[in-house]
């Protein structure tokens, strides 16, 4: 399907690896100019080269901390106008909630709630004026159901979801949409680090933990960043203008609820 976004400018935050990279690749495949981002320059430049080679699109790598004001300025300054914004960032570490002190709580809120809101504040009026904008926020399945050790993830991301629920309705008239993608288990470094630490603490091989993880998912497999990226690209497409304020859970059926 032609997504109808060829020539659009996209910023995909935290996209040198993992889910962000999956989204950046599919937007590039759809013909967008894509700003990609990460803190490690070597990884970022390698990724930029690979996506550009694979898709033929213009990829602009910006080394920056997306949670810092200076980093956001660099990202926003990389293109003359922003048509598509994919908000993403690293998630908080697994931790018993008793160990999350005030500083860690505030850091989690800044990373996973405040920073995406700041970026939206910076781009949304231009989108409204031009009568096109697509904003996708990568959150987590932890928005729908708690995950042990990720209470800060649930809290900050639910805060973001609640904050933007009204904002999404306020800009829908101008063909500007704001949606959320909620990953379950996807094959990225973050997931594999989690599997490795579970394997270490139980004294078993990572393959054992991975097999258990897969067995618990109705689809019997872990998700692929490419399929996550394709869903993101559709939400950013010209055809998705009537979808806004929605939370799309991608978890192979792991969430057991009806709704
Ligand atoms: N994978 C899953 O199964 C899963 C499930 C639920 C939720 N999530 C959430 O989805 C998001 C992406 O996860 P992932 O699995 O794709 O992680 P990942 O594989 O670890 O990739 C994270 C990416 O973000 C970049 N990054 C991290 N902190 C950054 C910062 N402050 N500024 C700019 N870039 C930054 C990393 O590059 P640098 O390190 O070089 O900066 C890397 O490119 C996270 O918030 C995670 O909690 C993932």
Looking at the fold, whether 207 and 238 belong to one and the same domain comes out as no
Contact 19, 251 (CB under 8 A): no
Q: How many CA atoms lie within 13 A of 98 on its CB side?
A: 0
Kindly state if the Cβ of 20 falls inside 6 Å of ligand 1: yes
- Rounded CA Rg of the chain: 18
Task: Compute the distance from residue 163 Cα to the ligand 1 centre, in Å.
Answer: 22
Looking at the fold, whether 169 and 61 belong to one and the same domain comes out as yes
Kindly state if the Cβ of 230 falls inside 6 Å of ligand 1: no
What is the domain count for the chain? 2
Kindly state if the Cβ of 191 falls inside 6 Å of ligand 1: yes
Task: Compute the distance from residue 129 Cα to the ligand 1 centre, in Å.
Answer: 31
- How far the first Cα of the chain sits from its last, in Å, is 29
CATH number at residue 24: 3.40.50.720
Burial of residue 190 (CB within 10 Å: 0-12, 13-18, 19+) is: middle
Question: 202 lies in which domain range?
Answer: 188-222
Residue 35 included in any domain? yes
Looking at the fold, whether 145 and 205 belong to one and the same domain comes out as no
Kindly state if the Cβ of 133 falls inside 6 Å of ligand 1: no
Looking at the fold, whether 109 and 211 belong to one and the same domain comes out as no
Contact 127, 120 (CB under 8 A): no
Residue 231, by phi and psi: left (phi above 0), alpha (psi -120 to 50) or beta?
Answer: alpha
Taking only the tens of pLDDT, the chain with its 259 residues reads 999 999 999 999 999 999 999 999 999 999 999 999 999 999 999 999 999 999 999 999 999 999 999 999 999 999 999 999 999 999 999 999 999 999 999 999 999 999 999 999 999 999 999 999 999 999 999 999 999 999 999 999 999 999 999 999 999 999 999 999 999 999 999 999 999 999 999 999 999 999 999 999 999 999 999 999 999 999 999 999 999 999 999 999 999 999 9
């Amino acid at each position: 399907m032609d997504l109808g976004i060829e020539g659009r400018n996209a910023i995909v935050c935290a996209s040198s690896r993992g889910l962000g990279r999956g989204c950046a690749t599919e937007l590039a495949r759809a013909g967008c100019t894509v700003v990609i981002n990460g803190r490690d320059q070597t990884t970022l430049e390698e990724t930029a080269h690979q996506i550009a080679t694979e898709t033929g699109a213009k990829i602009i790598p910006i080394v920056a901390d997306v949670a810092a004001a200076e980093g956001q300025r660099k990202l926003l300054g990389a293109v003359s106008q922003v048509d598509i914004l994919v908000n993403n960032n690293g998630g908080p570490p697994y931790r018993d909630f008793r160990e999350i002190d005030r500083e860690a709580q505030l850091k989690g809120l800044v990373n996973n709630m405040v920073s995406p809101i700041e970026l939206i504040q910076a781009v949304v009026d231009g989108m409204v004026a031009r009568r096109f904008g697509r904003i996708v926020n990568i959150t987590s399945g932890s928005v729908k159901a708690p995950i042990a050790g990720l209470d800060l993830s649930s809290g900050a991301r639910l805060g973001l979801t609640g904050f933007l629920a009204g904002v999404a309705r306020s800009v829908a008239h101008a063909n500007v949409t704001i949606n959320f993608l909620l990953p379950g288990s996807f094959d990225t470094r973050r997931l594999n680090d989690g599997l490795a630490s579970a394997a270490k603490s139980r004294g078993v091989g990572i393959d054992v933990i991975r097999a258990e993880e897969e067995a618990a998912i109705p689809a019997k497999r872990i998700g692929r960043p490419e399929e996550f990226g394709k869903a993101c690209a559709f939400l950013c497409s010209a055809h998705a203008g009537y979808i806004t304020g929605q939370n799309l859970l991608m978890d192979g059926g792991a969430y057991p609820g009806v709704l």
